[in-house]
Amino acid sequence: MTNKSKDVVLKPINKESVVQQVIDRLTEAMLCGALKPGDKIPTEVEMSETFGVGRNSIREAIKILVYLGVLEIKRAEGTFVRHGFTDSMIDPMIYGIILNDDESYVELQELRELMEQSIIRCAIKKSTKEDIEKLYEKYQALEAVIMEKNADILKVFQADNAFHDTISEMIHNSLMVKINSVVRTLTYSLRLKTVTLMMEHGNQKQLLNAHKQIYEIIKKKEYEKIEDVIRNSYFYDSI
């Protein structure tokens, strides 16, 4: 290991909250670049000796980081820092929202609005002609399922997701797409409930029109309308 890693990772650990402190040491090493994606971490024996803690604590910390998608175990090779983003990284955030107090609902609305405005702004700036055409196809698909007689709400929700996923792809920024995916996962139940109640209350045209307005401001590059159009597309009063 490098001298930098020794400064961060190879510090003795106090007995209190041993597992969390092992996690913290490894996290600090990744943050400062001592451990990079693809690097093999020290063995349980090496970390146990370095940290001055039992191997069971090391093993438990590794299990947690593997569950979180930060580390991966390769049989007969060792444990490595993962490359890139994994869906399992979303789980703790989801649980945090679920277990949080009632204020998280309002905070989630604010986060969703801020993220969607940013995505729309980037889509206007970076989208190609082909992107716009694809988005219109997704809008047409949404229109078709929304206006069906006895429409299937799950199909409407899936078409709604496909429309917004296409907008995310239009920004051509993989990191922002991943972050937006996290936000959309966290707001899954909120979005599904909104679509369900809008459909059940006979507000199909209103729901469709909100998506049409989003499509139009992207196509026409109407930056000044982003906030109003996004805010008017949420229908929070209906849920």
Domain spans, the chain: 3-84, 90-238
CATH pick for 3-84 out of 3.30.420.40, 1.10.10.60, 3.30.1360.70, 1.10.10.10: 1.10.10.10
pLDDT score of 6: 46
pLDDT at 55 over 50: yes
Cα–chain center distance at 102: 21
Lowest mean pLDDT among 37-46, 90-99, 184-193, 208-217: 90-99
Q: Pick the residue with more confidence: 107 or 159?
A: 159
Q: In the prediction, which pLDDT does 166 show? A: 97
Q: Which residues pair with residue 71 across a beta bridge?
A: 81
Provide the pLDDT for residue 104.
66
What is the reported pLDDT for 11?
A: 57
Structure tokens at 92: 């703790």
The pLDDT of residue 87 is above 70: no
- pLDDT greater than 90 at residue 71: yes
Average pLDDT in the 171-178 region?
88
The residue that leads in pLDDT, 122 or 10, is 122
- pLDDT of 142 strictly over 80: yes
Residue 29 has pLDDT above 50, yes or no: yes
CA distances from 46 to 6, 42, 51 (A): 12, 6, 9
- As a whole number, the mean pLDDT across the chain is 86
The token pair that represents 232 in the structure block: 């008017």
Q: What is the pLDDT of residue 223?
A: 95
Is residue 85 pLDDT above 50, yes or no? yes
The mean per-residue pLDDT over the stretch 83-90 comes to: 72
| Backbone dihedral angles phi then psi of residue 68, each to the nearest 5 degrees | -75, -5
* Per-residue pLDDT, 165: 95
pLDDT of residue 128: 94
For the chain, percent of residues with pLDDT exceeding 70: 84
What CATH number was assigned to the domain covering residues 90-238? Answer: 1.20.120.530
Are the C-beta atoms of residues 23 and 61 closer than 8 Å to each other?
yes
Closest CA to 53 of 91, 10, 84: 10
Residue of higher predicted confidence among 105 and 184: 184
Residue 5 has pLDDT above 50, yes or no: no
